[in-house]
Amino acid sequence: MKIISYNVNGIRASMNKNLTGWLVNEKPDILCLQELKAQPDQFDTYLFEMEGYHCYWYPAQKKGYSGVAILSKQKPDNVVYGMQNPLYDDEGRMVRVDIGDVSFISLYLPSGTSGDERQSFKMDFCRFYSGYIENLLKERPKLVISGDINICHHPIDIHDPIGNKKSSGFLPEEREWLTSFLEIGLVDSFRHKNPEKVKYSWWTMRFGPRIREQNKGWRIDYQFVSSALADKIDEADILNDAYHSDHCPVMLELDV
């Protein structure tokens, strides 16, 4: 099973850059999208359905903001929108599908870059989410969490760890949370398969495309696999040749 996660930074803009053509070539069994920035009636969802995908869109209530989705070749047995917490669900942060005994989540964790209030919101979300997933693992032990976590875990995951030590996304408390999150029974699939490889999944556009050309990036997009599936990881990679967004896709192949 091939799973791809992609923060498209606006699905309408990415579709204008031939996102659907890229999807036809990649042929993932499951595609997890983040940061839709659109309601389903604002773009042509049929283009995805025409390729054989069952589509589950979960936009934010605020138009032009956040939102996640899962597209699956196989029709799920169950779909869960949100976490039954309006504080976070109104922002369209998570959707889950269950296929057999395996569950797949598309997650968009908040960013804290806009100031102290959103950084505090981000950390509150992180604490809530740890408890949510810890409980979910008791019910659904075979779990894949795919998405934009907005945190670099280790110095190898960011081009300038010293210069960014006080930046949201690489703060000590964020990195400590991510360590504790994995300790509840999750594996970072890319780092599991590539312990020393330096690859990034996001580049700031603040200074134009040259930052990506110089590969001054951050690895903030992940596919976490529960311990019950860790031995099923065949391959994990970051697809740096996709240019529909300021992020690029992350790919996981599971033998399930």
Name the nearest CA neighbour of 73 among 100, 54, 45, 56.
54
Among residues 90, 124, 148, 231, which one is catalytic? 148
Please say whether the dihedral angle defined by the alpha carbons of residues 75, 38, 25 and 229, taken in this order, is positive or negative.
Answer: negative
User: Which pLDDT does position 205 carry in this prediction?
Assistant: 86
One digit per residue, the tens of pLDDT, for the chain of length 256 reads 999 999 999 999 999 999 999 999 999 999 999 999 999 999 999 999 999 999 999 999 999 999 999 999 999 999 999 999 999 999 999 999 999 999 999 999 999 998 999 999 999 999 999 999 999 999 999 999 999 999 999 999 999 999 999 999 999 999 999 999 999 999 999 999 999 999 999 999 887 888 999 999 999 999 999 999 999 999 999 999 999 999 999 999 999 8
Please give the CATH superfamily to which domain 2-254 belongs.
Answer: Endonuclease/exonuclease/phosphatase (3.60.10.10)
Tell me the longest C-alpha to C-alpha distance in the chain.
47
Q: What single letter denotes the amino acid at residue 168?
A: S
The predicted-structure confidence for 35-76, as pLDDT tens digits, reads as follows 999 999 999 999 999 999 999 999 999 999 999 999 999 999
Which residues, in sequence order, are bridge partners of residue 4?
31, 251
Is 212:203 a contact under the CB 8 Å cutoff?
Answer: yes
Residue 8, token pair as written in the block? 């498209």
Residues written for the chain? 256
- Active site annotation includes 148: yes
Strand locations in the chain (E): 2-7, 30-34, 54-58, 68-72, 78-81, 94-99, 102-108, 142-148, 186-188, 221-226, 233-238, 250-254
Model pTM above 0.95 = yes
Give the residue extent of every domain in the chain. 2-254
Q: How far is CA 170 from the centre of its chain?
A: 17
The predicted-structure confidence for 175-208, as pLDDT tens digits, reads as follows 999 999 999 999 999 999 999 999 999 999 887 8
